[in-house]
Structure 1
């Protein structure tokens, strides 16, 4: 596998970086120690500019190439998850209840490795903007960075990102043109009736039977309102009500995650969810309060940028290890906001066998970091080549 030789030389240093980050996980926007570590490495590397405090703890670093040209953005998310680690590794999390269970420590390491190579060689024109983003898991840090103007402020013309993929063959890249990951919305419904003794239901307005009907009703959206060739998910994931076997409760609640790929489908799902819940509430004589949280949009690659990124990946790992038309998936990602703001592409990179993402036994494969760093570096050199 032709990892760039110079980046291969950084492998042990990159492992040290990654394991330090793994031992010191931080959540959401509160990535203060993580940002300080990244900024210190960037100063050692010798980037030209470091801009801190973007989206609270995010960083944008600039590396100038040789001669005029556009600015290409490379993004790595850096937050962890509220999970207790169960790897047993020597470099396991030192923070109770927090761990890098999604590999963002690896993402940061890959981008730092690419930064070191690009700052040393500078075999490209224009500039590179390195985007270290907090709060991908919770809070939409990608959206906040865009809202704070990073694309315009730094003149970013196109933007790219990678996510590690455990249990995908090591070094295999996967992407597609158009929609790659789904939008995600969350509905929380509180249902209020009139409680009382379970022996006298006629004296009550039972929220339990209303919730059951609502849950059954919203499942019909996919079978009766969605065009058969579209794709969407409506999954009810929580139901809470009741305190005892002989009491009809006063109220109850349920939650659902709602996912799709097209804006018009997303709006239809929202509309029908409200209509079904509100109509069922009227039929059962209960009150329903719906909190419908409009979450991350679909992650939609620019077709020509996805094709370009796939060709670059093939230079690093070989054509046989690149799937440029991989199936899209129902997971979500706030890199979507950056792709709404600028052309670009998002890719998955296989890291081989291991525990899945968000599992307490997950650990990023350190051997994958030089592969991802080589992809980022080669991407810049191919997108913005030196003048002949």
Structure 2
């Protein structure tokens, strides 16, 4: 199994085409249609569409029975306006592939060319293009879809590019690799009043002033020692933008982040407890809602060993990496399969992920593809 120079040229052109047409989480209809069009040229044994919303899976059956191996890429882009001057820059105002999911799609889609020429010796390969990774909703929706239950992978693999790491150098480790995180929206409700008589109302402003430092004080630990607890206030709104009305309601948005799912449960309880105590103190109503919920991502040891062997046989540099503070919903696939994600360097001088001047380096496409193909060879022959 291999990809050719012609394949690589096509994949680079296709990746750049995807880059021009970014769609954010839950809206990836045109991207999914483009993925289906590309995959159909390789005549997979089955293409499943609509997985978890807009997800797509291509199935390549082996010649003999064996395990099912899944390789995942992400469909979605970000609500970030691109500021690059590349010819393939985004054509969609306010949206851009600022995380490299266009490149991840090219790597996984490239596998279809190899399996078109030669099916796996055994088992089957699933090329999954998952929606809504950026919001944490996509993996859960895919796994809950009855059509996914029929696919039932034994192993699941994915990667993410990492700016700041030398181009093509990979990090891989067993155990936790990405934090659990969620967005907590705290709504406080009091009573408005005329600005000349604030005492006749109940303002949430004093509670907000106490709540921000109290939430910040929950921070502790370090990512290096894997005991990190991090709270980041991302948005505050108190009342309406007017000078004549003392506020009667407020919202505070905070991102909660921990190394483990168990730690997240404790942090949620602590954050809600602070808000309830302050609401009671200031005679306010309080309610909570959760958004962008990510479980922690934990790599299976056997799956990690398979990735390391693949990198060694391809003579590609790798080392034991660190855990990352950012979240990834790929961890949910660990409930259904032996799963592992590795991280591959996008270059030491590459703009950071989610920066408006980020653009995925095309030189990574053949490297990621080689690793994935070697993993398939190791498991399926």
With normalisation by structure 2, the TM-score equals 0.92
* SS at structure 2 position matched to 1:18: helix
Q: Per-residue displacement from partner, 1:133-165 (whole Å, max 9, x unpaired)?
A: 111123611111100145530231110111111
| Of 238-247 and 107-116, the range deviating more from structure 2 | 238-247
User: How far apart, in 2, do the equivalents of 1:149 and 1:81 lie?
Assistant: 28
Q: Per-residue displacement from partner, 1:239-294 (whole Å, max 9, x unpaired)?
A: 11243568532222111000112232111111111111101111122222222347
* SS at structure 2 position matched to 1:80: coil
Q: Which runs of structure 2 are paired with 1:34-53 in the superposition (5 Å)?
A: 34-53=31-50
Q: Which residue of 1 aligns with 2:350?
A: 354
Q: Per-residue displacement from partner, 1:155-184 (whole Å, max 9, x unpaired)?
A: 311101111112211001112211111111
User: How far apart, in 2, do the equivalents of 1:119 and 1:374 lie?
Assistant: 16
Q: Which residue of 2 aligns with 1:377?
A: 373
Q: Say whether residues 1:114 and 2:114 are aligned partners.
A: no
Aligned equivalent of 2:338, options 343, 362, 379: 343
User: Can you give the 5+ residue segments of structure 2 that lack an aligned partner in the other structure?
Assistant: none
Q: Which residue of 2 aligns with 1:209?
A: 206
Report the CA distance shift for 1:317/1:151 in structure 2 as closer, same or farther (over 3 A).
Answer: farther
Q: Which residue of 1 aligns with 2:191?
A: 194
Q: Per-residue displacement from partner, 1:283-324 (whole Å, max 9, x unpaired)?
A: 122222222347111111112212321231233343xx2123
Alignment check: 8 A CA contact 1:187 1:256 kept = yes
Q: Which runs of structure 2 are paired with 1:140-289 in the superposition (5 Å)?
A: 140-196=137-193, 202-222=199-219, 230-242=227-239, 243-244=241-242, 248-289=246-287
Aligned equivalent of 2:364, options 359, 365, 368: 368
Report the CA distance shift for 1:168/1:286 in structure 2 as closer, same or farther (over 3 A).
Answer: same
Q: Say whether residues 1:138 and 2:138 are aligned partners.
A: no
User: How far apart, in 2, do the equivalents of 1:293 and 1:96 lie?
Assistant: 25
Aligned equivalent of 2:318, options 308, 315, 322: 322
Alignment check: 8 A CA contact 2:135 2:292 kept = no
Q: Per-residue displacement from partner, 1:335-379 (whole Å, max 9, x unpaired)?
A: 122122211101111121322111221111111101111111111
Aligned equivalent of 2:298, options 291, 297, 300: 300
Query: 1:193: how far off?
Result: 2.5
Report the CA distance shift for 1:268/1:17 in structure 2 as closer, same or farther (over 3 A).
Answer: same
Q: Per-residue displacement from partner, 1:91-137 (whole Å, max 9, x unpaired)?
A: 11122222211111111100111221133133532110111111112
User: How far apart, in 1, do the equivalents of 2:25 and 2:243 lie?
Assistant: 40
User: How far apart, in 2, do the equivalents of 1:7 and 1:351 lie?
Assistant: 22
User: How far apart, in 2, do the equivalents of 1:290 and 1:384 lie?
Assistant: 48
Aligned equivalent of 1:309, options 307, 310, 316: 307
* SS at structure 2 position matched to 1:254: strand
Alignment check: 8 A CA contact 2:52 2:145 kept = yes
Alignment check: 8 A CA contact 1:49 1:61 kept = yes
Alignment check: 8 A CA contact 2:156 2:337 kept = yes
User: How far apart, in 1, do the equivalents of 2:266 and 2:26 lie?
Assistant: 32
With normalisation by structure 1, the TM-score equals 0.90
Alignment check: 8 A CA contact 1:15 1:366 kept = yes
* SS at structure 2 position matched to 1:337: helix
Q: Say whether residues 1:73 and 2:46 are aligned partners.
A: no
Alignment check: 8 A CA contact 1:47 1:63 kept = yes
Q: When the two structures are aligned, how many residues end up with a matched partner?
A: 376
User: How far apart, in 2, do the equivalents of 1:322 and 1:27 lie?
Assistant: 32
